[in-house]
Structure formats: structure tokens, C-alpha cells
Structure 1
Amino acid sequence: MTRQPIFEQNKNCWKETQATYSSPLIDCANYYRALHSSICKAQKQIIIVGWDIDSRIRLLHGEEEERAEAPSQIGELIQWKAEQNPDIKIYLLRWDSSFAFFDQREMWALEVWQDKTPDNVHALLDDSIPMGGSQHQKIVIVDNEVVFSGGMDVALHRWDTREHKIDEPGRNGPDEQEYGPFHDVQLVSSGPLVKHFTELAHWRWNRIAEQPIETIPDAESATDKLPDCWPEGVKPCFTNAPCAIARTIPAMEDTELVQEVRNMLIDLIGQAEHFIYIENQFATREEIARAINERMKACPDLHVVIVSSYEPQGLFESEAYWASRITFKDIVEDGVDSSRIMMTYSSIRDQQGKTAYKRIHSKVMTIDNQYLVIGSSNLSNRSMTLDTEVDLIFHGDSEENQRCIEFIRNDLLAEHTGRKTDAVQPLIESESPVEALMDKQLAHGYVLTEIDDSEFTSASETNVFRSISDPEEPLGPAIPDLHGKFSAITNPRRRTIMIALGVLIVGLIAGALILISNTVPWLDGDRIQAFLEESRGTYFALPTVLLVYLVGGLLFFPVTVLSLAVAAIFGPIWGPIYGIVGALLSAGTTFLLGKLLGNAGLRKLGGPKVEAVDEKLKQSGIIGVAAIRMLPIAPFSLVNLVAGISSITVVQFLIGTFLGMFPQMIAKGLVGDSIMQIFKNPSTETVTYLVAGLVFWLAMIIGSQKIAKMYQARKLQTDAQSNEEDSEECIA
């Protein structure tokens, strides 16, 4: 039986429209493959709006990646497409995320896109959301013909196949962190609905950009053939299906609060008669729980299955979402027969006893065979009020479209319970579908198990974590502008956060150095020289010099002062020898310290500009390090740290340091020894000796500069000739 749709524009939806063709793309392997195909087919325009757009993500894996003519990595693919077709315009709009997601995001995303793509690729970071909210819509529009929408981003730790194997080599992101099975759902659609998604994407872009998106004509909605940009291998499920687009938009400077998603979900639940199926990342919105509970009490034949994740990721998720899910579960089950509703997670245990829990990231709801929701909205407070969201809701107006809703629901349940898709419908049509689905699940395959969040946390009436992670209102107060209008404070920009972090780190280092200099009385030239003199003529001479260089390097003490002091005490022969050994020890130690800091995240903080310098340093190798050592352009220890953060090897670095510093050590040995001789026996001979040493030192610096410039010029000439030869080979 079909009913009139409940869609009501400006109440529970933004636009009531139609999808000429539409099909779900279940799990990221299928979505990324389809996205890659449509991008390759694009001719006019590509718009990507997302919570994240990570340039490092591979869209294809395995043999597909090897066979593909176009690059697999999304950053390289966009660059390839833009260079292949200079007339195409590509727009990338990513949320300028909060500090909480720094470890999950590409640090310098905007600079990466700007540096590695041509001028017909435009990238922006959207920071206009109120503090505490996120830009959570996930939309890709290709040539105004095809739109992808749903729960999936091109982001870290998303890719997985529908098999969700316990051990999957492909689940290893660009951060080299392995992750477990991951489930999500996206839609690919064409027809009249595309122009509305295009309008939404244009609004998002134009409200923050200096230059608006270039408008291209809407594609003709042909019903007899698929659009040119439709992804290869994807068979449409819906044909000419009525649908609606519902949004959440928080109150911002230029818009009022929009709660179409909230209103739509409550209205849909009120239509349910036999079976509600939900899979969602989070279930915390008590209003939704009460709506389900009230509908179940009003309809004794209504049954509900909810699928979500098992274990929380971190303290904030545990205390904000899992604690709230306990309350959600208590509300939906209150006064209802436990056989009619089940909140579950999907997991697998193989014959060897290995266990894996499927992470649910999708946002799906079916109401009988009448409605299907696939979107970006979680059943959380923030998705109903504070984040930007967009859901697509299909109405089963015909037997064909009702069968499509049933198939998608049954296919998802089959994946979670280890069954065949055609085996699910008889279970749902039984007198007790929840018990039937939970009963007789296959061993050693994926199974649904009832959620018990009390093993992770407990419900709490006053939860500070929930108020921060799942708020209904902005975290910051509204402030008035010059005209007296109140607007919410937005999240701080990524660049602002980075500058603040840089200032904080520099301040901490400076404070530590000042503290050390004020509390360590021996950290001055006179005391160091007295300390070294005590070791002269003993077996402890070299170890003492090494200790002074090591400590001095860690505390950024000037290496020139140390070298002159060592030369003055140990003479023009042993002084340079001891000095170069000590300098190499100090350089190697601070280099390794830089390597540790780089691996801990400083290289990521540095961004593409540092990568460019790193590449030049790596290419120049030993000669480059020697040239830097010859030229007094930066403090000794700072050069060591920066080199450690780079990709140059420690062996190359130490050899380059030796070649660059030893000639100067000889010059410093002459100067240091002559200074000592002047103090002992001031005469014309000793003064001449000092002047000669200074001249030799100056000559070493000038000569080093000329040698470095000659080397750089010769290398540039060699590289230019090599590029010309490569070009000739390409032409041939």
C-alpha cells in the first residue's frame, strides 16, 4: 500500500524533488571507486563539500589501482584532471576543523591543494560555524549531472570493503595507522534533485569566498539513459523516485536556525507501523528516543532494530556518546516488550578466536517499505541543532521503489548478521522480526549482539563531556556587532590555532632557556674555560670536551665560543681535533632529538613549505650540509634540530658537518691559540699570529660562500640539462 508523502517544505524538508536514478554505495571501497569513475568522466565542473577532503587518500586499491589509467590518490587525481582539462573548474570546500581533530586531519590541507594543483582548482576552509559545531555535510557534484551524498568523506580511516575482514591490508591509512572494520553508506543520484544540491553547495561556497562559484547550465534530466558522469559499474536502484532534502543549519550571522532533519525524523517515526531499521554512528538525542517509544506504545505491531558501534574511541566519546546512549536505550525500551526492540552492534569471531567489531559511521533509517533516509545526520544533539547536515529521504510511491527500500534495508541487515539478502525479508515479515533476526545467526560470521554500554561507562545527568562533544547550543556566547545584532562566536581558524601553538612552543623554549641561564651558574664562557683547563694534561681531557659540547649543544650555547675556548686551552693541533669530535657528538645528538620531534608531529606542523625545504636539503645531501656549515646563517643547534626533522640521513648529515666545519676548526684553533699566547706573552709576534688567524678564518668563510655558490650554480645547470634531456625523450 502506498501513501501520500509527508514531505512539507520549510517544515520537515527544504526541497521536495525527484531522483531520476539513485543507488546506494555501501562502504567506502564502493563509494571511492564510483567517485574515481565520475571524476575521471567530468568535463565542466566538480564541487566537493565535506567534513574533510584529505589529499592523501587512495580511492582505488589492489588490482584496480594497478590497472587504472588515472591516479588513485585523490590529490593526484584532482591535479591530473585539472591539468588534463584546463577548462574544468574544481571547487573544494572543507571544514576548517577544531583543535580536537588535529590528529585526524591533514594539517596543512589548504596549502597542499594550493601548492600542488593548477589555477583551475579552488580550495577553501569553512570556519563560519558557531563554536562547538562542525560543517558536516558530505556532497560531491559532477557536471551538475550526478550528486554523491550521505555519510562518507574522503577522509582518514574510512576505506573498507563490504566483507569487513578481520585482517585487511588496505585498512592502513597515510598516517600508517591500522584501523578496524568500518561501515558507511553513500548515495549516487541524478535528476532534478541535483540542481538543489548544487544550490546548497553554491550557498556554502559563496557566503565565505571572495569569488563565487562559476555557474554552469543544469544537466538535462533524461529518463531513458544514465548521465555521462554516472559511475561505471553502478546499477541504479531507484527510478523516478520522489524524495526530499532535509537540512540542519545552525543560527549564524546570515541565517536562522534550520531544523528540517529533526522535524523529518520525528514525522517519519510517526508513520511507522511494522518495522523501523536504523543504523547510526551515535544515538544520544532523547527526543528521538521518546518519539520511537511513543510510537511503539501506540502501534503494538511495531518492531525496531538499531545498529551502532561497540566500543568508544577515547574518553570524550565514551562519556559524551556512550553514556548518553545508555539513557537513549532506557528511554526507547521503557514500558515496551523487550522482544520488540533491540539496540545492537555487529561483530565477528573467526575460527581462530580473533574478534573484530564493526565501526558504524552510516546514517540510515527505513520506515517499513515506505521511506528511506540516507544522509549525514547522526541521532545526536549536535546534528539536530549545531552542525550543518543534509539528508536525502526517498518515498516508496510504487511497488518498484518499495522493493528498492526493502532490498537496501535487507542487504544491510544481511551484512550485519552474516546472512544472504533474500533470507532477511521472511524474518521481517514474521510475527517477531527482532527475535527472528537475532536468532540462528551464523557462527564465525558477522552477528548482531545487544548493546550493553555499562561495561564502558555509566549514565550521568550532568555530563561535562556531553556538553562539550554533543552540545545543542554553541559553546561560546553570542556577541553583538556594530549594529547591535548578536552572532555566535565561531570556531577559531586553523591558522589562528597554529600561530597560537607556535607562540606557545617558542615561549616555553625561551622560558626554559632563561630559567636555565639564571639557575645554572657555570653556564658562561669563563666558567666553561676554567672547567676545561682543569682537565688539560689528564686522561679526562677528551671526555670533558665531549661533555661540554654535548651539554652546550642541548642548551643552544654558541659553538664558536666553545671552539675558541677549546683551541685556547688545548692548542692549535689538539684544539681543532677535540673541537670537531665534540661538535660531531653535539650535532648528532641534537639531530636525533630533531628526528624524534619530527616523528612526533613537527614535520606535519611544518606543512608543504617545510617539505619543499626538506626536499632541497635531501637532494643536496652531504654537499648541502657542508655548505650550510660553512656559512654562519643560523645557530649551530638550530640547524641540527631542523636537519633532524628533515629526511636527510644521520650519516649524510655528520659527513657534511665534518667537511663544512673542520677547515673552520683549524682557523678557530689558530685564533684561539693566538689569543691565549697574547695573554701569556704579549708581543708583536703573537699579535701577528692572531691577525693571521683572523684573516685565515675570514678567508675560510668567504671561500666557503664562493664554493657553495659555484656548487649551486653547477647543480642548477646540471638539473636544467637533465630536464631538457627528459623533455626530448618524452617528445621522442
Structure 2
Amino acid sequence: MAPIVREGHNCWRIERADKARMIVDAADYYALLERLMEGARERILLIGWDFDPRISLRPDEQGHGEALGHFMLRLAHDKPGRDIDILRWNFGGLKQLFMPRILAMILRWKATRSISFRLDGAHPVGCSHHQKVAIFDDHLAVCGGIDVGARRWDTRDHRDDDPHRIAPDGRAYLPWHDVTMILAGKVGNALADLGNERWQRATNKALRDLSGEGENWPDDLEADFEDVDVSISRTRAAYRDCTEVREIEQLYLDMIAAAERFIYFENQYFTCGKIAAAIAARLDEDDPPEFILVMPHTADGWLEQMAMDAARVELVRQISKTRHGDRLRIYCPRTTGGTPIYVHAKTAIVDDRLIRVGSANLNNRSMGLDSECDVTIDAALPANRETGPAIRRLRESLIAEHLGVEPEAVGKAFKAHGSLIAAIEELRGEGRSLEWLDLVAPGPLDEFIAANELLDPTRPDAMFEPVAERGLRRSWRRGKSWMKRHRPFRRR
């Protein structure tokens, strides 16, 4: 079994993690984040697409609690020699400056010497800074899909009408599913290098050097993995003196090419024609793997629905025309009461031999436009030979959460059928479960926007190209062409 991850090809660096653990849903992550920030000795570095100082990391049954902004001020008061550096995407941050509560808190932060809040605009027009990385003392790091923002908190139970799910504006919001990963060791140092580079590019000033002591892994936090090698993959658009990086796209293509039995995806979007065509090429083979996608029923927001939902319908219809199109299944999770659960996670598991967690969606923006960061554990790397059972347990746990069953039931059904789709179909039922995606035909405007990738371009220049020179069909052809050229990769 050859490794899928290869440094300099589909990942930036491969570094050792003393310990690593997948964290599912923001209730657990926010509680852990509070502890990690309190325990940091020299620096807290938070880099993200969103950051809302009004939220509470531990909301009570009325959805209230100490606001994150006040918590940060308390951290600064308790340990004034510790840096608290926050970098968020500039466009979203500028919108927040028109909200009085947020503006007042940012001004209080500005008056606090140890807190530095900056906006990241170091990217081409139309791009966003989409990474979600938190780093503590340049040693302990979190990388994944969870933003420290409003309307994100939820538990793995995804209860109907959970009173904790109250946004800062006082309104309740729907259930939300997300995933991130905490890592300690040299891989944390590498993510600190990435964070420092991003900070320096956005602010023209480097972060100060640290002593290197590093925050320790929490004593009561059980690791999923120990002494494993972890790869870091990025997306970065070309900007000024920085070259384009498309490691994330390459890793997706290599995963699809290498899969033997299945790939289990949890992802917010499925609109990248190149990725979809690669899946279609596999499903035209004699005995292809299964592709299971757990996704939201519809995108979050009117613009996203027009751009993303219509493109998803078109790509799924094209894939269904392949010889084994029924080996692609898209499921949407729902609560016990039937409420859709929004899937924001960006997670992939291949054959229980590779697990990937990060910020990158299966859309064009994440392949070549927005800044992204994913981490991957590949069991084919020499240090990772014993990680297969842990990857399997994590997959079973995720699927069990969506189906409302115990992980053991998922494992038993998969063993009985030898098919992940058959296992899910056996366990699907009433109440908390997974349901098939309903492919609602898009309207004419939605179809035009999706077909021409008007809101989901493949790279910065594509936004300014004539409509005739871009679109889903071109992306699809690029994906099929890549798979034809790389068929030998699957046979290694």
C-alpha cells in the first residue's frame, strides 16, 4: 500500500504529531478552546474566516454566558505577558464593524497591549481567507472546519429546539454539524509557521519569537492517535510575490484515484466539476469504490443556494449516467423531529486507511481561490501502520451520530454487507437518521449562475474571463482528462 500523501506533491509538509484527536461539533471544541487559551503560556494565535466576540464558548440553557470578548479581556488581565493575536478575513470583519457591540469590544481590545486584532486582506479580489487554525505556544494546534463564530455551537445530540442554540441577536438557529482536529508536537510547530507566515503577509509584521516551552496536551483528553505523521495541505491563490498553491485539489484527486472500497465524505458543498468528473471516471470502471457524501439539504444563504445547490444537482445527474452511478450516494442528516442538520464539516475517510480534516470544501473556491488548510493521517506512511483501527472507529462514530445508532451497529452492518451504502441503508429509519438528497430542479437563473461558475470560480482570474471560457463543463473535462493520465496511480 503506497502512501497517498506525498510532500511537495499534494501536501506542504509531513510532520510528527505526538498526539492527535478529532473533535466533533462546536460544543466540545469551544469548551476545549476555552481551556487551551487559559493554559497557553506565551501566545494564543487564532486565524479564521469568522470571529465573533459576542458568542459564549459555554452557553447556558438560556443561550447566555460569558461573552468571548470579555473572556479574552480577562485572559489579557490575568497574564499580560501572553500575546493574544487574532486574524480574520477582512470582508467579514468589516461588516462586523457596523455592529455596535462588536465595534465597542474591538476598541477595548485595541486599548489592551497584549491583544492584537487584525483583518486579513492579503489576497486577490474575490478571494477569502478561509482557514480555521488555532495555535498555542507554537506547539499545540487545532486545524479543521469550525469557526469561532455565531450560530456554530451545537452538541453531537443535535437536539430539536436546544435552548443553548441562541445567536447573539437572540434568535434560535438550526442544528449544526462540524469537525476539527487538535494536534501536538512538530506538526503544531509547522502549523505555527503557517500562521506566522499568514500573519506577516496580512500585517507586514512577524510575530515575536517564543521560548519554545509549549503548552502541554490536556491530561484528561484521550488521543485518537499517538506518534503519527501528519501531512498539511494548502490552497493559496497567487498574490503579489506568492505563487499559487493547489495541494488540496491534488490530494482530493489522488484520494479518488487511490480508493479501493469507499470514500466517506462530510462536506458543505459539492460543486467542483473537476472532482465530480474524477468520481465519474472511477464509477465507469468495472468494480469501482463507493462514494458516500453527507451534506446539508441546502446551502446556507440565498446566494450560496443559487450558486451551490444548482451546481450540485447538475454534477450528481452527470455522475448518475456512469455505469455504476448508484455507487454515489448523497445523504442529508436530520434530527429526531425531522429538522435538517446543517453539515459544515470538511472531512474525508478513504478505505479506513486515510482520514482528512480541514477547511476545504468540495467546491472550486477551495481548490484554487480561497486560502485553505487540511491535515491528513495516511496509514501507509511508515509511522502510521497501526492507525487503521482508529480511523475505522472514527468513521463508525461519525456515521452512527447521523443515523442515531451506536457505532457498533455501523461496524456490524458494514461487516455483514461489505458495502458502506448497504450498511447505511440497513440502518436508516424514522426520526434521527440520514435521508437521500432530493434533487430539486434548479430555476433558470440558478442554473445559469451554477453552469458558468459565477460565484464559485476556479481561480482569481476566472472571475474576469468571458462566460464562454469557463463553467462546469470545462471543469468536468479537466477532471476526466486528469483521471485518464493518472490511471497507473491506482495500480501502484
- TM superposition score normalised by structure 1: 0.59
Partner of 1:277, secondary structure, is strand
Structure-2 residue corresponding to 1:302: 289
The CA distance in 1 between the partners of 2:182 and 2:306, in whole Å, is: 35
Deviation at 1:298, TM superposition (A): 3.2
Tell me what 2:197 maps to.
Answer: 203
Equivalent residue for 1:693? none
Pairing partner for 1:358 from 325, 335, 341: 341
Match of 1:207, SS? helix
Determine whether 1:185 maps to 2:171. no
Q: 2:253 aligns with which of 266, 281, 287?
A: 266
Aligned partner letter, 1:164 = H
Is 2:278 the counterpart of 1:284?
no
Count of aligned pairs between the two proteins: 459
Instruction: Map Cα deviations across residues 540-598 of structure 1 (whole Å, 9 max, x no partner).
Output: xxxxxxxxxxxxxxxxxxxxxxxxxxxxxxxxxxxxxxxxxxxxxxxxxxxxxxxxxxx
Superimposed CA distance per residue, residues 221-275 of structure 1 (whole angstroms, 9 cap, x where no aligned partner): xxxxxx52x3464311011112210000001112111100000110111110011
Instruction: Could you tell me which runs of 5 or more consecutive residues in structure 2 were left unpaired when the two chains were aligned.
Output: 466-492
Matched ranges for 1:403-442 at <5 A: 403-429=389-415, 430-442=417-429
The 3 A distance-change label for structure 1 pair 46 and 239 is same
Encode CA deviations 1:140-170: one digit per residue, 9 max, x unaligned: 0011221011001111110001100111111
TM-score (norm: length of structure 2):
0.87
Q: Check if 1:448 corresponds to 2:442.
A: no
Larger-gyration structure (1/2): 1
Q: Look up the equivalent residue of 1:426 and give its one-letter code.
A: K
Q: Aligned equivalents of 2:100 and 2:457: distance in 1?
A: 25
Q: CA deviation at 1:440?
A: 3.9
Q: 1-side partners of 2:264 and 2:38: how far apart?
A: 35
Q: How many angstroms does 1:311 deviate by?
A: 2.6
Distance 1:138 1:104, change over 3 A: farther
Could you say which residue in structure 1 is the equivalent of 2:314? 327
Question: 2:477 is matched with which residue?
Answer: none
Report Cα offsets for 1:361-418 as digits up to 9, x if no partner: 0000011111111000000001101100000011124464111111111111111111
1:85-234 alignment to 2 at 5 Å? 85-97=79-91, 102=95, 112-116=105-109, 118-219=112-213, 228=216, 230-231=217-218, 233-234=220-221
Q: Which residue of 2 aligns with 1:82?
A: 76
Q: CA separation of 1:231/1:78 partners in 2, compared to 1, >3 Å: closer, same or farther?
A: farther
Contact kept? 1:273, 1:299, Cα under 8 Å: no
Root-mean-square deviation over aligned CA pairs: 2.7
The reply to whether residue 376 of structure 1 matches residue 371 of structure 2 is no
Q: Which position in structure 1 is the counterpart of 2:53? A: 55
Tell me the amino acid that sits aligned with residue 5 of structure 2. F
- Match of residue 300 from structure 2: 313
Compute the displacement of 1:125 (Å). 0.5
Deviation of 1:113 (Å): 2.6
Does structure 1 retain, via aligned residues, the 8 Å contact 2:11–2:231? yes
Alpha carbons 2:10, 2:251 under 8 Å: kept: yes
Q: 1 CA distance for matches of 2:347 and 2:321? A: 23
1:43: Cα distance to partner? 1.1
Specify the code of the residue in structure 2 equivalent to 1:435: A
Could you list the per-position Cα deviations for residues 588-616 of structure 1 after superposition, in whole angstroms to 9, with x for gaps in the alignment?
xxxxxxxxxxxxxxxxxxxxxxxxxxxxx
Tell me what 1:22 maps to: 20
8 A contact 1:326–1:458 mirrored in 2: no
| Aligned CA distance change for structure 1 residues 46 and 299 (closer, same or farther; 3 Å) | farther
The whole-number CA distance in structure 2 between the counterparts of 1:301 and 1:107 is 55
> Residues 359 and 200 from structure 1, CA distance in 2 versus in 1: closer, same or farther, beyond 3 angstroms?
same
How far, CA to CA, are the matches of 1:6 and 1:125 in structure 2?
Answer: 35
Offset of residue 474 of structure 1: 2.7
Any conservation in 1 of the 2:61–2:163 contact (CA below 8 Å)?
no
Q: Within 2, Cα distance between the matches of 1:106 and 1:467?
A: 32
Query: Deviation digits for residues 506-565 of structure 1, max 9, x if unmatched?
Result: xxxxxxxxxxxxxxxxxxxxxxxxxxxxxxxxxxxxxxxxxxxxxxxxxxxxxxxxxxxx
**Do the aligned partners of 2:63 and 2:165 also contact (CA within 8 Å) in 1?**
no
- Structure that is richer in helix per residue: 1
Q: In the alignment, is the contact (CA less than 8 A) between 1:371 and 1:396 conserved in 2? A: yes
Q: Per the alignment, in what secondary structure is the counterpart of residue 128 of structure 1?
A: coil
**Distance in 2 between residues matched to 1:325 and 1:63, nearest whole Å:** 37
- 1:55 maps to a residue whose letter is P
Aligned residue identity for 1:113: I
**Structure 1 residue 109, shift from structure 2 partner:** 5.1
Partner SS state of residue 339, structure 2? strand
- Superposed CA deviations along residues 659-683 of structure 1, whole A, max 9, x for unmatched, are xxxxxxxxxxxxxxxxxxxxxxxxx
TM-superposed CA distance for 1:6, in Å, is: 2.7
CA distance in 2, matches of 1:9, 1:388: 19
Residues 347 and 105 of structure 1: is their aligned pair in 2 closer, same or farther, counting only changes over 3 Å? farther
Cα-to-partner distance string for 1:2-54 (whole Å, 9 max, x where unaligned): x3323222221110112110001100001001100101111111100010111
Instruction: Name the counterpart of 1:244.
Output: 231
SS in 2 for 1:391: strand
CA distance in 2, matches of 1:325, 1:51: 23
**Distance in 1 of aligned mates of 2:464 and 2:157:** 46
Q: Secondary structure at the match of 2:322?
A: coil
Distance between the aligned counterparts of 2:290 and 2:451, measured in 1?
32
How many angstroms apart in 2 are the aligned matches of 1:84 and 1:304?
A: 50
Asked whether the 8 Å contact 2:49–2:130 carries over to 1, the reply is yes
SS at match of 1:194: helix
Q: CA deviation at 1:55?
A: 0.8
* Distance of 2:303 and 2:100 partners within structure 1: 22
d(CA) in 2 for partners of 1:264 and 1:447?
Answer: 30
1:340–1:432: 8 Å Cα contact kept in structure 2?
no
**CA separation of 1:64/1:273 partners in 2, compared to 1, >3 Å: closer, same or farther?**
farther
Change (3 A) 1:211 1:473: closer
Q: Is the 8 A contact 1:339 1:434 kept in 2?
A: no
- Rate the CA distance shift 1:49–1:277 in 2: closer, same or farther, 3 A: same
Q: Give the drift of 1:111.
A: 6.2
Secondary structure at the counterpart of residue 299 of structure 2: coil
Q: In the superposition, relative to structure 1, how do residues 108 and 269 fare at CA in structure 2: closer, same or farther (>3 Å)?
A: farther
Distance 1:465 1:329 in 2: 13
